[in-house]
Amino acid sequence: MNHVFYLSSAIALLGAALAMACRNAFHALLYVVVSLLAVAGIFFSLGADFAAALEIIVYAGAIIVLFIFVVMMLNLGQRAVNREDDILTPTMWIGPGVLALALFAELVVILIRGAGGSTTGIGVGPKDVSLALFGPFVIGVELASFLLLAGLVGAVYLGSGARSTGGER
C-alpha cells in the first residue's frame, strides 16, 4: 500500500499546483477535485477510512460543488480567462514562490530533525473516531455546531444582498 500513498501524494501535489496555475476557474476546480480525491486516497492508504470518506463527501462533494455553483452564478467565461492572463504576469510568481519555498524548506528541516518513526499500519475505523468525537471531544463537537450555525446565518445574511442598506450604492 506504500505505493498507493506515494502515488496519491504525487497526484495531490500535481493537482494542487495545476489548480493554482490555471486560468480558467472551472478547470482549476476540477484540478482541486482531483487533488482532494488523491488526498482521500492517501487517507485510505493510511487506514483512516472515515476521514477519507468525509474528504470525498464534504470536500470534493459539498464544498467544491458550492464553488461550482458560484462560478456558474458569476457566469465567468472567456473574458474572465483573458482578464486572468492580464493580471497574472510571470514575475508575480517570484516573491510568493521564494516565500513558500522558504517555509517549505524550514518545515522539512524541522521534520527531518524530529522524532520520526513510521505509521503503525493499523487502521483507525469510524467506530474509534466516533467514540473519540462523542467522548472526550464532545465539547468540540458542540463548538463546531455553533460555528456552522454562525456560518449559516452569515451566509444567509450576506446572500440576501437586495435587502441590504449599508454601503452598497
Number of residues forming the site for other proteins (CB under 8 A): 94
User: Is 166 a binder of other proteins (CB under 8 A)?
Assistant: no
Among 34, 37, 45, 56, binds other proteins (CB under 8 A): 45
Q: Spell out the long-range contacts of 76-83 with Cβ–Cβ below 8 A and sequence spacing 24 or more.
A: 76/25, 76/26, 80/25, 81/23, 81/24
User: Is 139 a binder of other proteins (CB under 8 A)?
Assistant: no
Q: Which of 51, 42, 57, 54 is nearest to 124 (CA)?
A: 51
Cα(48)–Cα(6) distance, integer angstroms? 16
Q: x/- contact string, 78-97, with other proteins (CB under 8 A)?
A: --x--xx--xx---xx-xxx
User: Is 71 a binder of other proteins (CB under 8 A)?
Assistant: yes
Q: What is the DSSP letter of 136?
A: T
Q: How far is the CB of 21 from other proteins (least distance, A)?
A: 9
Residues whose CB is less than 8 angstroms from the CB of residue 38 and which lie 6 or more positions away in sequence, other chains included: 8, 9, 11, 12, 15
Q: How far is the CB of 16 from other proteins (least distance, A)?
A: 4
What residue has cell string 476557474?
A: 25
Among 77, 82, 107, 142, binds other proteins (CB under 8 A): 107
User: Is 35 a binder of other proteins (CB under 8 A)?
Assistant: yes
Q: How far is the CB of 30 from other proteins (least distance, A)?
A: 11
